[in-house]
Amino acid sequence: MQDATLIYEDQSAAGEVRTVNMTALAHGVELAERSSGPDTELVYGDPAHTQVLTLGEEAEDVLIRALGGDSLADGLRRAFANGGLMFLSDVQDLLDRAGAGYSYGAFGPDGGAYRPNYA
């Protein structure tokens, strides 16, 4: 596994921090959104939360075509920066509309959830 590439980072005046990273895998990519702060605690009941999408090559190609750019990282960076994508759930919505499969995991200090490849 390679090092993660930062796609998006945001910090609010209230102390909420959110990052989206992409890691290349042997046959696809992993997208991870990590958040911490008062909003995360309000929504999830935990001070920190991580969501992970694991995409195969087909889903990766769907995103590249949908977002444009020279690479998936470029397309994701542009979409998060201009508000076309705001959260990892927006990426899920895009993949769901295209019928592209992915695995989903969510993790916090008090546990987690996993949904295997869905198409």
- What is the per-residue pLDDT across 85-116, written as a single tens digit (0 to 9) for each? 999 999 999 999 999 999 999 988 777 888 88
Residues in Cβ contact with 78 at an 8 Å cutoff, skipping those fewer than 6 apart: 67, 68, 69, 84
Give the mean model confidence (pLDDT) for residues 11-39.
Answer: 95
Tally of residues, the chain: 119
pLDDT at 1: 53
Q: What is the pLDDT of residue 107?
A: 87
Quote the pLDDT of residue 115: 87
Q: From CA 23, how far away is CA 1, in angstroms rounded?
A: 7
Across 16-34, average pLDDT: 96
Provide the residue type at 88 as one letter.
L
DSSP state of 26: T
